[in-house]
Structure 1
Amino acid sequence: MNATSPLSARTLVPLRSPDTVMAQLREHFGEHGVISGDDGSWSVVFDIGTATASRQGGGIAFSVEARDDTSLAYLQWSVAEHVCEFAPGETPEIAWDGGTQPGAPLPYFREMRVLRATQVTPAMRRLTLGGEKLDRFAHDGLHVRLLLAPKPGITPVWPVMAADGRQAWPDGERPVARVYTIRRIDVEAGEVDIDFVLHEGDEMPGAVFGRDARAGDVVGMTGPGGGTLPPAPHHLFFGDETALPAISRMLEELPEKARASAFIEIADPSERQELALRPGIELEWLSREGRPAGTTTLLADRLRALDPGHWQAGTYVWAGCEQTAARSIRSFLKSERRMPRQQYLVAAYWRRGQAGEVED
């Protein structure tokens, strides 16, 4: 695709309260991109492309532009999702001119097959998945959603493009979705590595798939997502084993002279991994010594105990862990360290006693 000719799509959405929706969209998108313009006509620049909105008649005219079909589809999805969210009681009619045609495969979906499995540590198993045209998964996001069969022996249906830019599902068994980090990607070979924490219990579909998967098994994959790590003079990473793949990859992809400190909670010393660490990067393992995951305060305690040398001007903090620990870390950074919101990201990767994705 010519770098000077971005892909585009547009739509006119009739609404009962277009001014209210415009204002709410502008505020929300302003938290994730750079806004310009006024209440009646504005534009927002994201890392993956641009969205514009303007009042027109009894509705809002939107246009989106991006350099690739995945980014364009993400922008269409985001506009449609938030218009519906900010127009309660309405069923907005959204039909895009341009972009992926309704009913076509999602540009950010790939069907993958298990190629091989490796036991990294007693509780971490790595699956190598094979697929085609994976170049878009190598940038602008570390994470993917794996679409897993809801039950053994069931072949799920895969999502397609809806007219409003979101996902539509054909008739049949829908898969179960779980978010994972691409630990390694080899675009030329058509391979990605995904690390699975082998939680106990058959009610954990991701862990069960990671444990039982064999060569030839099929899984869906959408993505990438999760953004990228912003530049900073010093990065601080905190996470338990569920965040270990993400932290490992971010450490490996830091600029050559970057400085970083990583603190990773694991069950016991047998779960330590050999990571490729350059000079200027320190790594500390925090062992639960047999205590159940999600029951300790190791990460928050270590954060509070950091010496002043870790807190340079512009330090960026990234954390991924159990929900209670994530809230404690976020509270400390916000209320006690009084860090600007753009200098940290704290994600609740899981919640003790609950399967599935966590909204926090």
Structure 2
Amino acid sequence: MTGLLEVTAVRRVTPRTVRVTFTGEYLEALEAWPDQQLKLMFPPPGRPVRLPSADGDVMRWYQAFLAIPAEERPVMRSYTVRDRRPALAEIDVDFVLHGNAGGPATSWARTAAPGDVLGRYGPDAAYRRPLPVADTVLLAGDETAIPAVSSLLSEVDNAVVFLEVPDAAEEQPLPGDVHWLHRDDAPHGAALLDAVREAKLGDGSVSAWLAGEAGMVRALRRHLVGDRGLGKRDIEFTGYWRRKLTQDDAPTPEDLADAAEKLG
């Protein structure tokens, strides 16, 4: 479903996280499910949002999106719905501010204000994933995974949660027993991988949900499959972002292998 979103409120929930509240058509009827993702479309500087003039299946929609002239075509990025208020036709989306530079989404979020307008595609139930099922469910990720983990914890009551963030100021209130790991000056994902390696996950069945920086997610999967003996089908994973690369850059061989595994 395509439409426009208008910003109604902006607030910093941590020093590096901006929560933006949007309103828009059809949000009052938006079906809820955990880890609900949508695509946001950021217009070129000084231009209004131009949406594709096609509905129907995603491939036809995407072809119409690519047909928009490059100078008018929005930049598209995937985000997770952090919260929703159907009675007010509102959703919240959290933006993590990556460093001082960042791409178009980070740049937009730094100066976002009520009245700003973005485009959206979704959320589309075709991309809804089943909840992980096992005696123990491992949820692990970095700060970009917090919105999805928050929604999963509303449905999963046997989760062991590990979240790596830059420092203590980036922790957010979440239900359940969450193990917060502070990156400080260590490489991204090192603290998370160490903690998962040492975690006691019980004697029963285990499934895992992993999200965050793609290389970090890949390392976690290698550990869970190679060292813990989890089946590949027992791991739901998403590389939300790539160090030194954007969603506009060509996929690496590792990215292609990940995509093939998810489809297999």
Q: TM-score range by the shorter chain?
A: 0.7 to 0.9
1:213 maps to 112
CA apart distance, 1:234: 2.2
Aligned partner of 2:32 among 113, 138, 141: 138
Q: Percent identity?
A: 33
Q: What are the equivalent positions in structure 2 for 1:59-98 lying under 5 Å apart?
A: none
Aligned partner of 2:181 among 286, 308, 330: 286
Q: Which amino acid aligns with 1:227?
A: R
Q: Secondary structure of the equivalent of 2:48?
A: coil
1:347 maps to 238
Aligned partner of 2:60 among 163, 166, 178: 166
Structure 2's unaligned 5+ residue stretches are 259-264
Is the contact between residue 110 and residue 131 of structure 1 (CA under 8 Å) also seen in structure 2? yes
Q: Deviations over 1:158-182 (max 9, x none)?
A: 1232787521136441111111110
CA apart distance, 1:199: 1.2
Aligned partner of 2:221 among 327, 330, 349: 330
Partners of 1:132 and 1:305 in 2: how far apart? 47
Q: What are the equivalent positions in structure 2 for 1:189-338 lying under 5 Å apart?
A: 189-224=88-123, 225-254=127-156, 258-275=157-174, 277=175, 281-291=176-186, 294=188, 296-307=189-200, 310-338=201-229
Q: Which amino acid aligns with 2:232?
A: R
Q: Secondary structure of the equivalent of 1:160?
A: coil
1:19 maps to none
1:41 maps to none
Q: Deviations over 1:182-239 (max 9, x none)?
A: 0001122100000000112445111112111110111111122452423333211111
Is the contact between residue 137 and residue 223 of structure 1 (CA under 8 Å) also seen in structure 2? no
Q: Deviations over 1:114-140 (max 9, x none)?
A: 000111000001000001212235237
Structure 1's unaligned 5+ residue stretches are 1-107
Pick closer, same or farther for the CA change 1:221–1:214 going to 2, 3 Å: same
Pick closer, same or farther for the CA change 1:121–1:301 going to 2, 3 Å: same
Q: Which amino acid aligns with 1:340?
A: G
Is the contact between residue 147 and residue 177 of structure 1 (CA under 8 Å) also seen in structure 2? yes
TM-score (norm. length: structure 2):
0.83
Q: How many residues align?
A: 241
Partners of 2:74 and 2:234 in 1: how far apart? 36
Is the contact between residue 197 and residue 241 of structure 1 (CA under 8 Å) also seen in structure 2? yes
Partners of 1:129 and 1:302 in 2: how far apart? 36
Q: Which amino acid aligns with 1:348?
A: G
Q: Which amino acid aligns with 1:321?
A: G
Pick closer, same or farther for the CA change 1:241–1:140 going to 2, 3 Å: closer
Is the contact between residue 41 and residue 120 of structure 2 (CA under 8 Å) also seen in structure 1? yes
2:81 maps to 182
1:125 maps to 18
Q: Secondary structure of the equivalent of 1:166?
A: helix
Q: Please provide the CA RMSD for this pair.
A: 2.2
Q: Secondary structure of the equivalent of 1:161?
A: coil
TM-score (norm. length: structure 1):
0.62
Q: Secondary structure of the equivalent of 2:88?
A: coil
Q: Deviations over 1:322-351 (max 9, x none)?
A: 122111111112222221222111221211
1:68 maps to none
CA apart distance, 1:246: 0.9
Pick closer, same or farther for the CA change 1:140–1:269 going to 2, 3 Å: closer
Partners of 2:243 and 2:68 in 1: how far apart? 33
* Greater fraction of residues in helix: 2
Is the contact between residue 267 and residue 287 of structure 1 (CA under 8 Å) also seen in structure 2? yes
Q: Which has the larger radius of gyration?
A: 1
